[in-house]
Structure 1
């Protein structure tokens, strides 16, 4: 598989049989959706779910499929999608996508907790906005590193709990270039060589 980062939390996973996109949000490059066969949305926040771009995708490729928790109806409205929740498995692009988890991480007790579904694709796990630890081995973790609901110590502990062979940082659009450098340095010191940044627009072979 080929894994390309398209900004913030958006990644595109390509197999020999098609392309899967996870979390194309407003901070992501819309090019991620070009020719996509399936789109998986972890939750309804705009940095993960860009309604206008998803509508354009279905206009150009009506055969494409969108998946996500039922709550993304609040954003997508009448746009057709298939609701998934933790435990579901969806065939896509010649492989299987397993839905894992049900809840967004707590931002603050005074704010409601919304639905969030992470996705495991052939050992690659995208947790969305959660710290859910899958009950199955993970080869590659897409690790959120900066968010209103997250501090760096929690990201480190989460990476250790998942214990993946490779860790690629995501969810970093709110960091300045200097902030990314500092954060990467700390994570690299603690996680070692398994911590590997994929720059936006670049591809890693999984």
Structure 2
């Protein structure tokens, strides 16, 4: 399948002429969800869920469906009855011809004073895992990890240890929309062979709009 970065945490997956979009949020490109056959939302934060971008997808294609945690599904289902599905940890389903498994339950801790919200990671076709805003380790091996590179809830040592623990063949950066070029360079160097070491995982970053085959 083809993987296209659509800014910050959003990616598009295309296979057999059908498109699955994960997390079209406010920091994503304007057309992040346009033309999608299915949309997956990991959690309710606006950098992962922009209702305007979601509406573009659902208004543009009457057959487009959405899968999301209950907090998101309840928020958007009234506008699109019958097209929004609630998912949680352990669920499996098919979306636009892609086999999807849900892993994880909670957003990472931002601060103990802030309540934690639901967060579901998605494993697509048993190969690519997008964890949303959590360092969830899926319950089986994956080939490609969408790596949350930078966030208010993480530090580099945690990110690196997460890469090592998942042990995917490749990791591609997501959740990098708050980093300037200097910060991206620092993360890139530390996740390269010049850094502490990522184990078996090769790290790369796709620029918004850039694609690769996975």
Tell me which residue corresponds to 1:198: 206
1:72 offset after TM fit, Å? 1.1
Cα separation, 2, equivalents of 1:175 and 1:79: 34
Corresponding residue for 1:171? 175
Off by >2 Å, runs of 4+ in structure 1: 73-80, 189-193
Shift of 1:99: 0.8
Specify which of 109, 114, 119 is matched with residue 111 of structure 1.
114
Q: Within 1, Cα distance between the matches of 2:147 and 2:128? A: 11
Alignment partner of 1:125 is 2:122 = no
Match of 2:89 in 1: 86
8 A contact 2:88–2:103 mirrored in 1: yes
Query: Equivalent residue of 2:208, what SS?
Result: coil
Q: Within the alignment, does 1:63 sit opposite 2:63 as a pair?
A: yes
Matches within 5 A, 1:27-66: 27-66=27-66
Q: Contact 2:89/2:105 (CA < 8 Å) preserved in 1?
A: yes
- Distance, in Å, in 2 between the alignment partners of 1:196 and 1:183 is 10
Give 1:157 deviation, angstroms: 0.5
Give the unaligned 5+ runs of structure 1: none
Provide the residue aligned with 1:14 in structure 2: 14
Q: Distance in 1 between matches of 2:51 and 2:170?
A: 31
The total of aligned residue pairs comes to 206
2:185 is matched with 181
Of 113-122 and 84-93, deviating more is: 84-93
TM-score, normalised via structure 2 length: 0.92
CA 1:76–1:98: 2 relative to 1, 3 Å: same
SS at match of 1:31: coil
Q: Residue 44 of structure 1 contacts residue 74 of structure 1 at CA under 8 Å; is this kept in 2?
A: no
By how many angstroms is 1:62 displaced? 1.7
Residue-by-residue CA offset, 1:156-196 (whole Å, 9 max, x unaligned): 00011100000101100111111111111111122277111
SS of corresponding position for 1:102:
coil
**CA-atom RMSD in angstroms:** 1.4
What is the CA deviation profile of residues 96-122 of structure 1, one whole-angstrom value per residue up to 9, with x for unaligned ones?
011111110010110000000000012
Residues in 2 aligned to 1:52 and 1:32: alpha-carbon distance in whole angstroms: 11
